Chains A and B, each alone.
Chain A
């Protein structure tokens, strides 16, 4: 019945508020009518008109006062009551400052943590690209079973769908792009960009440094609706083969490198030695289509020969022939294609038409039945490429769950404190109820108080969140691929915070408010809140709250334990090599035009120079660093061990003779790569034990052949040695079957290699000397990514480390909250039951018995909570299985450890009220009763 009445009266109240003027006039008219009637009556009784009117008016002891009274009734009681409630609430809060601070602080922590995680989630998961109408953007992807024969080289995002067994990729060849662009009827613009962002050497004003470049089609900026902040963006006329090379700098790069100097527009800078004109600066928030990345410059696709050394003029010279132009190569899949749907066009229709066009463009029209035929599909691209989201969405949801638990605990704490305080205010409430106050009114007032506390906590929480999310972002950015997102404190975040605050206020205010007003007026008034009131002697609801908090606390402690152990396991996992005292860095001389013999000489000379530095034990180099770089794989035949034409996938790495010794990978059999393994010598390979186990079934592989290449041009490598397994790129996985060959005996010597240097003492201390040697050799070739091996490993573990840190933080926080809750509740119960304790002592209980009694009650609460928490932990931790390493989510060590910690700490907290109980002076207690 009550909500119905509320609904009815609300329009009335709103109307009175809005039409105050009209209401006043109505009131005047109404009263005037009454006075007129009265006057008429007096006239009828025989008075003269003026006297009659005077008499009528005199009856009303003050018309204005009456009007005021009526207006008071009319006044929107809701808002007025609310204002009164707020004033009253403020007074209460000021009166109990300690209480207010305690509640507001614990709420601030809960709300702040939630807001911080949410703003990160928002930036990573929900943020749309800062381009025109992102919802119209659509990206293309293809999938097939197995490796299609039309694909020779593949770059960019790819993967395998575990469910269907199909592999997918987001890259297409240039000719396919042209065909789709020119022949479709569904896109207003079709544009492309390179899937990989190659590193380039930038040289300007005498300074050389490395930068990332995104190659984009001429209509990229136009299609996205992005306009240059300075100068101009890339236009279609820039994307032709002989157009003068231009580049558009990203805003971030412009800030960092040029200090936002507007005069750089129009100047020239050398990119890999070729002069490029800086045409303009991209707008501040624009980062391309891959959220979380931060490209430094954008160049037209047609300029690829200057950015990809294998297509440069110098490469053509040394190889004797030019490679097929990338723009004509149908088997090199390197472009990501995106289109903007025409208005009214649906993504499904677009997909249907494009799928047909695609099949035609790769010559597979009508061959859809063959599972190996790539099939096109479209994806919404409003949020850009998926990489960031898939990487972070699960972890973020887990974090959200954890902070949600913290918030619940903070609410439970606040509710407990409010319950206790409400019980103390029982007398006041009873008095007000007996004077006729409506119960709903009192509840509303109590709710307003708790909502105010929550809003106070929320405001503090927003400040906390600002700081916390910046710190969190910094932590997450210390990895190999720094996470670059812009955190805004925008309306959505604030709305979220407000909603959470108000919800929190209602949540923890409702139960206490309800219970408090369920008071039996009579007894409450009489006993003045001694040990009266309903069921507050045992404070059952308070103890249930504590049990709930204990359960949540255990859950968080268990997660903390699991993440900590995962991190520990990963950090101490056997890498297969010795990461101590190792420094690594990369060089990319190919970008400066080094080719063929000159390139080989460069590497050799640099290696010798570094070896000559005092403090250097040994030097090695490899195509890939073992940790923190990509991998190379090839398939090969092993005559005698693979049947017929079946090829096996092997990981490979081209290395120098000093590699194994520098990395500390022990030799097991045969020999390592040595100096006499030159390009002209017979091709040899060293394999790891895993390869032997998997493909040679334990036989000695020495002398056997690994046949790479293909049928027409096989490339045979003789196995001359076996080394111990070493991790390759993935820390979590076992070492894959790996073959090492001399980097000189590869079909092509790589234009960029990684050097590893083993130092006698501190590897970091060698960095300046190494840099000096490299500059002395060639000042235009910068050293890239200088770090120690331990740093490289640490960079791989950023997410795990952040999680372990956060989980521990939350676990500690939860412990604090649970202890406060338990302490508060037990202290309150003890205070309430002073009389009972006094009686017990009077009839012979010893202080120790009382102590035991209180402790037993505490233990019971904690045990119940722990049992619930354990059940929840067993159920919930399964969800984070994928993030763990080296232990099961139900690891008994972690579970028991967490439970013990919880028990120990909470018992400590319960000791204080227990001791106070045992110290009760029975005489005084009984007197008060």
Chain B
């Protein structure tokens, strides 16, 4: 398997927002879910996940709430705000456009 893809900051934000759009999660759960959904391709280092989460909260795109987790420990659950939803839509659209363009270039047949 190749090295886990190095994610640019902006893309990580997009992934986090998308995850939280599906359901509220805590930081640990986000990293596990990402790994699971992407088939182990995307492994976010915890060192970049938490700073990203705090930044997104500061910007107002996600909101936090302390709730007991499955094993009854207190954990910080993040959820998407209304503003965050808008940001998610915008970032998704940008991503689709960008990745489409890159794919087109990469698929060009060599002469």
Contact = CB atoms under 8 A, between A and B. Distances in A.
| Interaction A to B | yes
Given A16-B58, A38-B28, A66 B74 contact: no
Interface string A59-70: 111000010011
B86 A1 contact: yes
A12 interface: yes
B100 to A, nearest CB: 22
A70 B74 contact: no
Interface residues of B, number: 22
Contact of B60 (A9, A16, A29, A61): A9
Contacts of B73: 33, 36
B74 to A, nearest CB: 7
Interface stretch (B17-25, B47-55, B91-99, B102-110): B47-55
Contact of A29 (B28, B47, B74): B74
B86 A33 contact: no
B28 A59 contact: no
Interface string B51-68: 100110111100000100
B76 A33 contact: yes
A69 B60 contact: no
A60 B46 contact: yes
A73 interface: yes
Contacts of B83: 4-5, 8
Given A13-B58, A73-B54, A74-B54, A61 B76 contact: no
A53 to B, nearest CB: 15
A513 to B, nearest CB: 22
A77 interface: yes
B77 to A, nearest CB: 10
A27 B51 CA distance: 11
Given A13-B58, A16-B58, A61 B75 contact: no
Contact of B50 (A8, A30, A61): A30
A659 B55 CA distance: 92
Contact of A60 (B47, B59, B66): B47
Nearest to A41: B32
B74 A33 contact: yes
- Scoring A1, A9, A34 by chain B CB atoms within 10 A of each residue's CB, the highest score goes to A34
B89 interface: no
Interface in A9-34: 9, 12-13, 16, 26-27, 29-31, 33-34
B11 interface: no
- Scoring B54, B73, B75, B76 by chain A CB atoms within 10 A of each residue's CB, the highest score goes to B54
A30 B27 contact: yes
B69 interface: yes
A37 interface: yes
Contacts, number: 65
A73 B28 contact: no
B60 A8 contact: yes
Contact of A34 (B46, B58, B60): B46
Contact of B47 (A27, A66, A73): A66
Nearest to A31: B50
A760 B75 CA distance: 105
Interface in A44-63: 59-61
A829 B10 CA distance: 41
A60 B76 CA distance: 19
A506 B13 CA distance: 34
A73 B86 contact: no
Contact of A66 (B26, B51, B66, B81): B51
Nearest to B55: A73
Contact of A74 (B26, B58, B81): B58
A60 B28 CA distance: 13
A538 B58 CA distance: 43
B101 to A, nearest CB: 17
Contact of A30 (B51, B76, B81): B76
Contacts of B51: 66, 69-70, 72-73
Contact of B75 (A12, A33, A60, A77): A33
Contacts of B28: 33-34, 37-38
Contacts of B75: 30, 33
Contacts of A16: 58
Given A33-B26, A34-B46, A70-B54, A9 B76 contact: no
Nearest to B71: A40
Contacts of A59: 46
A498 B19 CA distance: 48
B10 to A, nearest CB: 9
Nearest to B51: A69
Contacts of A1: 86
Nearest to A16: B58
A70 B46 CA distance: 12
Contacts of B60: 5, 8-9, 12
- Scoring A38, A61, A66, A73 by chain B CB atoms within 10 A of each residue's CB, the highest score goes to A73
Contacts of B69: 33
A9 B46 contact: no
A918 B9 CA distance: 54
A34 B27 CA distance: 7
A28 to B, nearest CB: 11
B34 to A, nearest CB: 14
A12 B64 CA distance: 11
Contacts of B47: 60-61, 66, 69
B104 to A, nearest CB: 22
A66 B54 CA distance: 11
Contacts of A34: 27-28, 46, 50
B20 to A, nearest CB: 15
A36 B75 CA distance: 11
A481 B20 CA distance: 78
B58 to A, nearest CB: 5
A73 B58 contact: yes
A74 B27 CA distance: 16
Nearest to B87: A5
B76 to A, nearest CB: 5
B52 to A, nearest CB: 8
Given A33-B74, A59-B46, 18 more contacts: A1-B86, A5-B59, A8-B60, A9-B59, A9-B60, A12-B57, A12-B58, A12-B60, A30-B75, A33-B26, A33-B28, A33-B73, A60-B47, A69-B47, A70-B50, A72-B51, A73-B51, A73-B57
User: Which 9 pairs across A and B sit closest by C-beta, in order of nearness?
Assistant: A73-B54, A73-B55, A9-B60, A69-B51, A37-B28, A70-B54, A30-B76, A34-B28, A8-B60
9 contacts: A5-B83, A9-B58, A29-B74, A33-B69, A34-B46, A34-B50, A66-B46, A70-B54, A73-B58
